[in-house]
Amino acid sequence: MDNNRWWRGAVIYQIYPRSFLDTDGDGVGDLPGILDRLDYVASLGVDAIWISPFFKSPMADFGYDIADYRAVDPLFGTLEDFDRVLAKAHGLGLRVMIDQVLSHTSIEHDWFTESRASRDNPKHDWYVWADAQPDGTPPNNWLSIFGGVAWRWEPRRGQYFLHNFLASQPDLNFHNPAVQAATLDNVKFWLDRGVDGLRLDAINSCFHDTKLRDNPPKPVELRFGRGFSADNPYAFQYHWYNNTQPENLRFLEDLRALLDRYPGATSLGEISSEDSLATMAEYVGEQRLHMGYSFELLTDDRSAAYIRTTVETLEAKMPHGWPCWAISNHDVVRAVSRWGNGTDDAVLAKQLVALVSSLRGSVCLYQGEELGLTEAEIGFDDLQDPYGIAFWPNFKGRDGCRTPMPWTDGPNGGFSDEKPWLPVSDAHRAISVKAQDADADSVLNGARAFLKWRKQQPALLHGSIAFLDAPEPILCFVRRDAAQSMLVAFNLSDAQVEWTLPEHGAASPIEAPGTTAGAIRDGRLVLPARGVVFATF
């Protein structure tokens, strides 16, 4: 395999730095903490890390509001700390991907300070400014995903500015070529430093409709979310005009041309549009992004039919492009809680690691997923996420999936000597890294064994995918490449199921460590609760 294509079939471990390890006793994780635990990360058998934002920021959205793209926030350390993380990761054979939040900045970015000051300063059109309607209301009906209208009044200019996210995250005006050039220059800064790839935040939100047309209303029955709940008014409209504009494609091509100057550098776009799978197919390709991921498997629907339809729909639209799958991240309820029922969480957690890393594509594994962490219960008084505070109590925000890593069963789970920014629950301390390290049968050791085994299976790394017509709750498909043809089956329920394979000539199980193994008897698939079968086929 061409070394520059390392990202195809790779497992990318997502580190949320605030919650990984605190080394300076301020209750917030930091880059030296990541440095300290890179050996642990390497022990998982993953290929790369993606570090969520660690740049200078007032932290209104915990770093997804950047005030200086080239500086490390003192909360996380220094640029030298980052260089040390990069060097050590490379020494361990891990690639390093960083989060680039290009579509918006923090309200504290110098660009915005200048832009907001007057209507005629040199950066006056670096953000999306618009006059009020005659009655003083905002220019159109666009809404912020985090609550309320997407426009905030700026008295200095007597105009509104656009914010698709928080009011402290103004949207840049990408229609301005100077904004694109400055953005690419910031990206280049990190590529020159040696990073191996970019995770591109909300990448389809860079451009807006210059005519500022109203988004049309959406019927009630279609208001299901991709990372937002159906009772969020954001779900009440089709987001045709505030994001995913055709001009975005040209910008992606310029970004790709820059990346192509750095052999092996990759990109992974976060895509959430009215038809995220179609947008992924448009955005991913030889001249655009290397990979994309969407919220399709980050939702509540976990049926075999849903997973199959999602993958097949994407395959049909994007037969050659490279997907990346995630079932957990820092934005959604942890998969074990979202897809489980509170019983046998460890068995489910092992199955989910195998499931997400058996689909065609690369994988994002979110810190704690390898431990089978459940969603933490956070009381209103401990809540940090402004999104959760705005929609409480119907939607509790994202704090429950962002609590610190439990390294030990000691105070604060060994994450910090001081009170952590979010509490570490007793349930998490009970399944700490230390405890699981010592248990051969733990989710952690299961994930390690599975990922190590997966590396030896060419069909799982690079093969095609084709589904068999298995009945619910069985998800069954064949992964095939020139060297190997492999049947993969998952029982997504808590009860044993059996099913006669339609073609079973040569199906013979291969032992996949770290899973609850099923069997094939006389051409009949026998899957215990949450069981898994891998077989030559």
- The footprint of ligand NOJ (CB under 6 A) covers 61, 64, 101, 165, 201-202, 270, 330-331
Q: Whose Cβ is closer to ligand NOJ: residue 47's or residue 331's?
A: 331
Is the CB of 101 or the CB of 348 nearer to ligand NOJ?
A: 101
Between 165 and 415, name the residue whose CB sits nearer to ligand NOJ.
165
Residues forming a β-bridge with 498: 526
Min dist CB 333 to ligand NOJ, Å, is 14
Output the smallest distance, CB 519 to ligand NOJ, in A.
40
By beta-carbon proximity to ligand NOJ, the closer residue of 271 and 478 is 271
Nearer to ligand NOJ, 61 or 196 (CB): 61
Choice among 201, 345, 370, 399 that is catalytic: 201
What's the min distance (Å) between Cβ of 165 and ligand NOJ? 4
**Nearest residue relative to ligand NOJ (C-beta):** 64
Instruction: Print the SS3 string covering 21-59.
Output: CCCCCCCCCCHHHHHHCHHHHHHCCCCEEEECCCEECCC
311 neighbors 359 (Cβ within 8 angstroms): yes
Tokens of 220: 């009630």
Q: How far is the CB of 154 from ligand NOJ (least distance, A)?
A: 20
Place of tokens 């099913």: 499
Query: How far is residue 380's CA from residue 300's CA, in Å, rounded to a whole number?
Result: 23
CA distance 86 to 65: 23
Closest of 426, 419, 422 to residue 383, by C-alpha: 422
What is the number of alpha carbons within 13 Å of residue 212 lying toward its C-beta? 18
Candidates 385, 365, 302; CA nearest to 338 is 302
Find the helix packing angle between 345-356 and 443-454, rounded to 10°: 20
Query: What is the rounded (10 degree) CA torsion for 281, 286, 287, 289?
Result: 60
Instruction: Note the Cα 195 to chain centre separation in Å.
Output: 18
For the chain, the farthest-separated pair of C-alpha atoms sits apart, in whole angstroms, at: 78
Cα–Cα distance for residue pair 133/171, rounded to 1 Å: 20
Which residue's CB is nearer to ligand NOJ, number 81 or number 201? 201
Tell me the closest approach of the beta carbon of residue 343 to ligand NOJ, in angstroms: 30
Closest separation between CB of residue 17 and ligand NOJ, Å?
13
Catalytic residue among 30, 61, 73, 270: 270
Q: Is 201 a catalytic residue?
A: yes
Question: How far apart are CB 199 and ligand NOJ at their closest, in Å?
Answer: 9
Q: For residue 50, give the nearest of 363, 516, 399 by alpha carbon.
A: 363
Q: Which residue has the tokens 């209208």?
A: 149
Nearer to ligand NOJ, 270 or 375 (CB): 270
Q: Identify which of residues 157 and 199 has a Cβ nearer to ligand NOJ in the complex.
A: 199
HEC sequence for 115-153: HHHCCCCCCCCCECEECCCCCCCCCCCCECCCCCECEEE
* 426 labelled catalytic: no
**Closest alpha carbon to 517 in 431, 453, 439:** 453
Please list, in sequence order, all residues whose beta carbon lies within 8 angstroms of the beta carbon of residue 364, skipping any fewer than 6 positions away: 12, 14, 50, 268, 293, 324, 325, 326, 329
What minimum distance in Å lies between the beta carbon of 330 and ligand NOJ? 6
Residue 488 to residue 479: CA distance in whole angstroms: 7
- 205/442 with CB nearer ligand NOJ: 205
User: 210 by DSSP, 3-state: which?
Assistant: coil
Provide the minimum distance between the beta carbon of 312 and ligand NOJ in the complex, in angstroms, as a whole number. 26
**Active site (catalytic) residues:** 201, 270
